[in-house]
Amino acid sequence: MATNVLPRPVQRLIDEFARLPGIGPKSAARLTFYLLRAADDQAFDLSDALRELKERTRFCSVCFNITEEDPCLVCEDLGRDRTLLCVVEEPLDVVAIERSRAYHGLYHVLHGAISPVEGVGPEDLRIAELVERVQKGNFKEIILATNPTLEGESTALYLQRRLAGLNIRLTRLARGLPVGGDLEYTDEITLGRALEGRQEFKE
Amino acid sequence: MHIRHLSLTNFRNYGRLELDLPLGPILLHGDNAQGKTNLLEAIYYLATTRSPHADQDAQLINWIAAQSEEPIVVCRLVADVAAAAEKRQIEMRLIQEVNLSGRNGGRTFRREALVNRRKVRLMDLLGKLQVVQFLPEDMQLVTGPPGNRRRYMDITLCQIDPIYCRQLSQYNKILEQRNALLRRLAEGRGKRDVLPIFTEKLIKLGSEIFRRRAMFLANLARETHRIHYEELTEGKETVRLGYLPRLQENGGRRADELIALEQLGEWLQSHVDDADAVQARFEQALAAALPTDMVRCTTSVGPHRDDWRFWINGRNLASYGSRGQQRSAILALKLAEIHWMTKISNETPVLLLDEVVAELDEHRRALLLTYIKELHQALLTATDPGMFTKDFLRQATTMAVENGRVIPDKI
Ligand SMILES: Nc1ncnc2c1ncn2[C@@H]1O[C@H](COP(=O)(O)OP(=O)(O)OP(=O)(O)O)[C@@H](O)[C@H]1O
Ligand SMILES: [Mg+2]
Ligand SMILES: [Zn+2]
């Protein structure tokens, strides 16, 4: 049997990297040796960042986005429209919507979508919390902004059932044509949905 | 439509092939194990993204290339297709990558599809090249298991109807989710109020599939009957295709069940334009099956359990037909398929005939050859070109296939 000539700390970091999604043993080794040769600062900065990630962040107890303070900055921001709620699957979806600058309401992060195949049911998502929040709040409209995948669609449908009867307007993001897209080259499904979701033409 | 040029790299025993293909019938001849079937398989694969012969697509990669030490091996199939209104190039790539970390036996396999050099979903390749294939194994459509007949319907319909193809793939995903949910519920996990969500989607998509299949089979049945009656048996025999939609639970005596399913098939065919009625019926069937489905953790009704059947003079062809009768029925079906595709898409499909000509008697062979003349292109294989008439050989382009090379005969 060959002896492992790598010092234990090196092997340990390789193993830790290899546990991350999308990183195989080869990349894990490459990253480790890169850090081994890099200036001390860089390695210590990384280790600080990792520690901070776990010690200084948590889920907002109102919207379940990741945050440093609880409640989060968005939930605390009094300049936002508190009658408008946007439900998304993941924290990164909030980032994407914020980037659009087109939305000024509040958020609710589910942390996934219903998918029995992957063992994810409503009880694994922040759905009970959503229902309670909506019942107590003063929302006029809830945008169900889950992804246009089968799982996202099913989740939206499920939420619609759970929230029906509360007399609040429920909406879904319009699924339209990509900007700069050409009608001729749009597949028939996208085009069909864009037609279904067509809107009044106003000036 | 027709293929103007075919290019293969590392496909089966073709290390490298650049082949111009003319219009009209093309006869590929050569000894056994030279690559005739492989060439037709390549064309069929480009048209349908499926192989009729391989259990795993990785088997299509040339094995010398696949076993080389190269970190990445690409098997490439490209066809320049001329359709009525436009020319297009379609391409499939089968990519094997060695990943040194040793997971999955150290090799990963993936597929890519391109139309006019732009990457598309595999699904979007369907219909870009339309083919009708006729193999000796197609006799299995009469006598084989229901899965064969469903696959035949799906592959044929998907080539013509992209919406069907999309719905079928969504249906299968929803079905998988619903079955997983039934399993979770049986284990006492999961929530019952999620079930209606998946059931409703299943009903929507499933009833579309029922309707499209019913329409398809009705059209195919009419033409199959005509060809069989008028052109194959001189008015002596009648063949009928009966749709057996799984709109009712499996159960009772097999013979009674067949009658019930056949009636449901007729009901569907008279309601193809009534989406609401079909949905209501499927909903009923799912509700009736729910108690047993909850126990078995599976969905026992729906198009994923469909079947259809040939009848000859009022009897089940699979149990009562002679080999010759079965062969005539399949020939009529294939000719009807050509007719149907041409009518719906305004394009004639490329016909792929592997060996079957050798198995037909003179009358059937002559009929097949008259149909071939109507097409823009047909590829046939034979070990012995001698079985074709001089007249046919004059019209056909003949090419010799030798150990992964194709050499057009000199005229
Ligand atoms: N992945 C592969 N890589 C290389 N060669 C292969 C591969 N798969 C099959 N072959 C070879 O291809 C040959 C078979 O070719 P094919 O089936 O096209 O023959 P054919 O000309 O149709 O013969 P027949 O007249 O017997 O039907 C066999 O010699 C087989 O070993
Ligand atoms: Mg062969
Ligand atoms: Zn918050």
Q: Which residues of chain B lie closer than 8 angstroms to A116, CB-CB? A: 177-178, 180-181, 183-184, 190, 194, 198
Within-domain flag for B332: no
Cβ atoms of B345 and B132 within 8 Å: the answer is no
Q: How far apart are the first and last CA of chain A?
A: 77
Helices then strands, each counted (H, E), chain B: 13, 15
Within-domain flag for B340: no
**What's the gap in Å between the CA of A114 and the closest CA on chain B?**
9
Interface contact flag, B191 A189, Cβ < 8 Å: no
B291 and B351 belong to one structural domain: no
- Kindly provide the residue ranges of all beta strands, DSSP E only, lying in B116-255, ordered along the sequence: 118-120, 131-134, 239-244
> pLDDT of chain B along its 411 residues, tens only?
999 999 999 999 999 999 999 999 999 999 999 999 999 999 999 999 999 999 999 999 999 999 888 889 999 999 999 998 899 999 999 999 876 554 445 678 999 999 999 999 999 999 999 999 999 999 999 999 999 999 999 999 999 998 999 999 999 999 999 999 999 999 998 889 999 999 999 999 999 999 999 999 999 999 999 999 999 999 999 999 999 999 998 877 888 888 999 999 999 999 999 999 999 999 999 999 999 999 999 999 999 999 999 999 999 999 999 999 999 999 999 999 999 999 999 999 999 999 988 888 888 988 999 999 999 999 999 998 888 888 889 999 999 999 999 999 986
Question: How many domains does chain B fold into?
Answer: 2
**What's the gap in Å between the CA of B194 and the closest CA on chain A?**
7
> Quick check: B190 contacting A, CB < 8 Å?
yes
Burial of B267: CB neighbours in 10 Å, binned 0-12, 13-18, 19+: middle
Helices within B270-322 (DSSP H only): 275-296, 317-320
What's the pLDDT at A192?
72
Distance of CA A15 to the CA centre of its chain: 27
Question: Residue B317: what residue type?
Answer: L
Within-domain flag for B336: no
Within-domain flag for B212: yes
B110 and B182 belong to one structural domain: no
B120 and B151 belong to one structural domain: no
Minimal Cα distance from B171: which residue of A? A150
B176 and B227 belong to one structural domain: yes
B121 and B178 belong to one structural domain: no
What's the pLDDT at A181?
59
What's the pLDDT at B50?
95
Within-domain flag for B49: yes
B119 and B150 belong to one structural domain: no
Which domains occur in chain A, in start order?
8-56 (1.10.8.420), 78-172 (3.40.1360.10)
Give the 3-state secondary structure of residue B215: helix
Span from the CA of A27 to the centroid of ligand 2 (angstroms): 45
What's the pLDDT at B102?
47
B160 and B295 belong to one structural domain: yes
Number of the ligand 1 atom closest to the C-alpha atom of B30: 21
User: Cβ < 6 Å from ligand 1: which residues?
Assistant: B 12-13, 30, 32-38, 59, 61-63, 383, 401
Q: What is the mean pLDDT of residues A2-10?
A: 81
B146 and B292 belong to one structural domain: yes
Q: Which residues of chain A lie closer than 8 angstroms to B163, CB-CB? A: 188
pLDDT tens digit sequence for B313-358: 999 999 999 999 999 999 999 999 999 999 999 999 999 999 988 8
B311 and B173 belong to one structural domain: yes
Within-domain flag for B361: yes
Residue ending a domain, among B292, B326, B360, is B326
Within-domain flag for B299: yes
**What's the gap in Å between the CA of A164 and the closest CA on chain B?**
14
What's the pLDDT at A5?
81
B268 and B389 belong to one structural domain: no
B119 and B171 belong to one structural domain: no
What's the pLDDT at A26?
85
pTM: 0.88
Kindly report the CATH number assigned to the domain that includes residue B260.
Answer: 1.20.1050.90
For residue A85, what are the contacts with CB-CB under 8 A and spacing of at least 6?
A105, A106, A107, A108, A133, A134, A137, A139, A141, A142, A143
Q: Show the domain range for B260.
A: 141-326
Span from the CA of B15 to the centroid of ligand 1 (angstroms): 12
Minimal Cα distance from B162: which residue of A? A188
B39 and B109 belong to one structural domain: yes
